[in-house]
Amino acid sequence: MMHVRHFTPHFLRVSFVSAMALVASGCSMAQTESFTFQADIPENFTVSPMAYYESASGESCSGHNLIQSEQPKGVRPVEFKLSLTDTAKGCSMVLTKVVLHIEGQWGKRELDMSLQTAGLSIHDEPSEAVRTFPPSGPLVFQGQCQWLFRTMGPYRYIVKILECRALDANGVVQKSLAGGALQRDQLAGKTVKLVLTVAKEEQPYFGRSWLETPKGWKPCIETKETFRCQTPPTFTDFKMPDGRDCSVYPNCTE
């Protein structure tokens, strides 16, 4: 079986058609088991899965193989085919985890973005952590992303940091990253879906450095002892990404 180090959905479709043509012509080819990963993500977000493979049990080779999947920004729906097995340097490899790289764009400039990760771990044995597939449809993992604002640099420009966490069955945000555990022998031919939403309100990255007022969030000078706002608070100004001088976020002026 050919070792694939970089593939796209288009490449997979072409490979599948080629394989069917060979079978029809009398050639035999082993079909690689795979599963489908889908993502339902907010506008201005992208997800790129990175699949990690390790040597199969009993193999003498060491190390791991890495396959990166990419999809152009803005392409919907987000969908990838991920192989459960691979070969590298003559060694049989099995998928052990998928790291999901999440990129969120918060501003108009190319650098106005932030990165976060989610993940899928692949288990050989059943465990309490492993999610089971429903009778029909995809296995869905829910997550929520939160934009956290802060100031940076000598001119105190506003920047934003992305934080994405798992949601439980009741929609409560968890401390763990979005994603979860899967059992290998349940995956072939199935679909796993990540559904991400964004919290309605932004929060300060350093909560002790901002005070919430009826007009919005105001940055304050901290004490050296507690790293909290002084009492009474002494406020300072900051700049929006477009260069405006502001005193309250996100309204800029009071």
Do 131 and 241 belong to one domain? no
pLDDT at 145 over 90: yes
pLDDT at 87 over 90: no
Note the pLDDT of residue 189: 96
In a domain, 124, yes or no: yes
Q: Could you tell me which residues come within 8 angstroms of residue 168 by beta carbon, excluding any fewer than 6 positions away?
A: 174
Do 222 and 135 belong to one domain? no
Joined together, the tokens standing for residue 96 give: 């052990």
Over residues 29-66, the pLDDT tens digits come to: 345 699 999 999 999 999 999 999 888 866 666 656 67
Over residues 121-141, the pLDDT tens digits come to: 999 988 888 999 999 999 999
pLDDT at 13 over 50: no
Do 46 and 65 belong to one domain? yes
Nearest of 187, 238, 228, 235 to residue 213 by alpha carbon: 235
pLDDT at 16 over 80: no
Average pLDDT, the chain: 84
Q: Which residue has the higher pLDDT, 9 or 144?
A: 144
In a domain, 160, yes or no: no
pLDDT at 165 over 60: yes
Do 218 and 181 belong to one domain? no
Note the pLDDT of residue 30: 42
Pairing of strands 157-166, 216-219: unpaired
Distance CA(253)–CA(177), nearest Å, equals 35
The helix (H) or strand (E) run that includes residue 11 is helix 9-24
Single-letter residue type at 203 = Q
Do 19 and 109 belong to one domain? yes
pTM of the full structure? 0.81
Do 70 and 189 belong to one domain? yes
Note the pLDDT of residue 63: 59
Most confidently predicted of 23-27, 56-60, 106-110, 244-248:
244-248
Residue whose structure tokens are 């394989």: 19
Note the pLDDT of residue 91: 82
Distance CA(91)–CA(89), nearest Å, equals 6
pLDDT at 203 over 70: yes
Show the domain range for 184: 6-143+167-197
Do 189 and 223 belong to one domain? no
Do 16 and 109 belong to one domain? yes
How many CA atoms are closer than 13 Å to the CA of 142, on its beta-carbon side? Answer: 10
The 3-state DSSP class for residue 91 equals: strand
The 3-state DSSP class for residue 54 equals: strand
In a domain, 152, yes or no: no
Note the pLDDT of residue 59: 63
Distance CA(4)–CA(67), nearest Å, equals 7
Q: Which residue has the higher pLDDT, 239 or 72?
A: 239
Do 94 and 174 belong to one domain? yes
Note the pLDDT of residue 196: 97
Of 62-66, 149-153, 199-203, the range with the lowest mean pLDDT is 62-66
